[in-house]
Structure 1
Amino acid sequence: MKSIGKTTKKKLIFSIFVVLIPVIIGLIVLNFTISNNDRTEASIKEGNEETLVYLGKENAKNEILFIFDYSCPYCHQWMKDIYPNIEKEFIETGKAKFRTQSMVYLNEVSLKLSKVDQNLKVHQPDQYYHVFFEIMDNQNFFDIPEDEIDKYISDLAKTYHLKENMLKKDPTIDVINLTRQYTKQYQLEGVPTIIVNGKVINNSFDINEIKAELTD
């Protein structure tokens, strides 16, 4: 894949203003490895009716939020190119904790994997990042046939000894409404979006811009 020079080329930009999201999502619905525990341990907090699952020390001074869509190829690229630096320099050293938030912007796969994502956070938080890294390390769902995603989720359940019906059921928190809430709160224009200590980073692929917002 060729490198991408400008911010606008590094983000997959969509028309996701709040007033349009119900229409977009309506159309979507109608028409359609992590290494072992040597990664930092996940901690869990409750807030705003969400279950938040973190990588890193719970009392870390900084929080890095990765907002993404499982079907977004640039989100997979961010995890490959940028995340390893974040993990080594900030998460493993205890300077920052890291969490994720999946969006439903692109297709039916986005919707189904966001349900998996939310259900894991609530019911199997200890397995969340194992599954998350597995998906982000090995798959790009932008153009995967829709009839293959159910089998993929079934295979994930077998691999990680999870209940398939738990992964596939409708979560207690509606993922479409959650997408709408995050989009409105942070005025999102596309994914991937990185938020450090509540501030949206202009260029998610600029590691120096991310570091600049992290306190010592």
Structure 2
Amino acid sequence: MANNKKNEKSGSNSSAKFTFWVIGLVVVCLAAFIFFGNHNKKQETSEVSKIDYTNQPYLGEKTAPVSIIEFGDYKCPNCKNFATNIVPVIEKELVDTGKAKFYFMNDSFINTDSIRSAKFAESVFKELGNETFWKFHELLYKKQPEDPKYEKMDVFTEEFLTSTLKEVASDAEVEKVVKNFQSKGSEDDWNKDMDYAEKLGVTGTPTIFVNGEMFKGQTIDDLKKMVDEAAKGNSNE
């Protein structure tokens, strides 16, 4: 999907009108991400379609027939825009309707903050579960600084991450996460994401995959079509 160049998450006539305007906004947003939003870093490699989704944070029902993945970086401004403006529409149109599950995986490349925040978030997921992970995930993007110079600064320090987690978790829960993070208890989980990003040929964030195939469309309708086709493919297996 529209990517931040690698440096650079639910009727009636009135309901129909609302949906129309939301879709129209997302069409523009998705096109902007695709053509102007890529944070680039590396050459594309061969795609791998078989992905192990075990122990990955997700939105939706386990029984949903299609799996959507976003590869993102917490320091990436376009990922923040994607989380704020696009993911809610994906939730409404594809997740809440039971058509798909939405996963987040890390592709941390911008600086040390990217790696630190990703590993901390992995510890949150491991120790406190899926629901708290998403609260922390969304809050972390909201707190991403607006100043473009921040990419070269250490903003997401351990102290900052711990303080942010305290807004959505108890002191006892925060202590468990910090202990896991400091002991590198989620190192393997982060490495798993990074290995997939490389094997799948991810060249920018955010990048989207549908059942292991990279999304190269331009609009929410393109994504919905790809999800529908993936669902049909599953039913034929």
TM-score range relative to shorter protein: 0.7 to 0.9
Match of 1:12 among 39, 48, 52: 39
Shift of 1:17: 6.1
**Which residues of structure 1 form unaligned runs of 5+?**
19-46
Kindly provide the amino acid, as one letter, of the partner of residue 201 in structure 2: Q
In the alignment, structure 1 residue 157 sits paired with structure 2 residue 191? no
- After superposing the two structures, state which structure 1 stretch, 103-112 or 179-188, moved more: 179-188
Matched residue, 2:144: 139
**1:16/1:137 CA distance change after superposition, 3 Å:** farther
- In 1, Cα distance between equivalents of 2:102 and 2:33: 25
Contact 1:67 1:194 in 2 (8 A): yes
**Which residues of structure 2 form unaligned runs of 5+?**
1-28, 46-50, 232-237
- In 1, Cα distance between equivalents of 2:155 and 2:88: 32
- In 1, Cα distance between equivalents of 2:33 and 2:106: 24
Deviations 1:106-132 (A, max 9, x none): 101101111112112222114111111
Contact 1:115 1:171 in 2 (8 A): no
Kindly provide the amino acid, as one letter, of the partner of residue 119 in structure 1: S
- In 1, Cα distance between equivalents of 2:132 and 2:164: 11
Contact 1:115 1:169 in 2 (8 A): no
Deviations 1:123-164 (A, max 9, x none): 211411111111123324871631662221120232222223
Match of 1:79 among 79, 83, 94: 83
In the alignment, structure 1 residue 166 sits paired with structure 2 residue 160? no
Matched residue, 1:208: 221
- After superposing the two structures, state which structure 1 stretch, 61-70 or 139-148, moved more: 139-148
SS in 1 for 2:136: helix
Kindly provide the amino acid, as one letter, of the partner of residue 209 in structure 1: D
Matched residue, 1:184: 198
Shift of 1:62: 1.5
Contact 1:112 1:168 in 2 (8 A): no
The structure with the largest helix share of the pair is 2
- After superposing the two structures, state which structure 1 stretch, 179-188 or 127-136, moved more: 179-188
- In 2, Cα distance between equivalents of 1:62 and 1:121: 22
Two-structure CA RMSD over aligned residues (Å): 2.9
SS in 2 for 1:119: helix
The structure with the largest strand share of the pair is 1
Kindly provide the amino acid, as one letter, of the partner of residue 211 in structure 1: K
Shift of 1:179: 4.6
In the alignment, structure 1 residue 199 sits paired with structure 2 residue 217? no
